[in-house]
A = this chain, B = another copy of it.
């Protein structure tokens, strides 16, 4: 095979991580129809992707953002830190500015919402491999205008616990090994920083911005 021909017919090897099997397989099928893209490996979540990427000589990783156990952003961090040079595309249902920021910080090269046309998926794969970035300009502007997440780590922990199902302050205190007074303080601060009236509203606001 001569070098010129190889360069033009290079097949991009893709790793696809998405917890819903039906959606994952459908996306793999869609990508598999592209002449220059091959889905080399699929995974149900973000765990162990560095090993998979290495084994399968993956060029681009397509990671769903919310998966049980290890999510897309954490997995992006793993892949970036691995030094394998795998390009990362994050897929998400909701275009939350905080998610975008965290994805970029984790080393992702693209951020796609599932509302986008399917054609953008293969495009994004090609672009990131070519060294480009793929981000919705409006979302980028929102993320940049929105400022950093104002919640401290502990405020975030407490608010996330509330958002994830801890029904009472006693639940949260037990979960995080804090006193109830401390829980109330952290929640109060989180409520103020999110401009909310109570924990439910604060959790919703923080989640919508991708702060949790």
Contacts and interface: CB of A to CB of B under 8 A. Distances in A.
Nearest to A201: B167
Interface string A171-212: 000000000000000000000000011101100100000000
A121 B22 CA distance: 8
Given A29-B29, A29-B33, A30-B29, A114 B23 contact: yes
Interface in A3-42: 19-23, 25-27, 29-30, 33
A82 interface: no
Given A20-B93, A93-B20, A29 B200 contact: no
A117 interface: yes
Count of chain copies: 2
A25 B197 contact: no
Query: Which has the most chain B C-beta neighbours within 10 Å: A22, A30, A117, A120?
Result: A22
Contact of A27 (B26, B116, B120, B168): B26
Contact of A26 (B23, B201, B204): B23
Contacts of A55: none
Contact of A200 (B116, B117, B167, B196): B167
A81 interface: no
A165 interface: yes
B30 A114 contact: no
A118 to B, nearest CB: 4
Contacts of A121: 22
A33 to B, nearest CB: 7
Contacts of A162: 200
A118 B29 contact: yes
Contacts of A116: 21-22
Contact of A117 (B25, B93, B197, B201): B25
A4 to B, nearest CB: 32
A121 B21 CA distance: 11
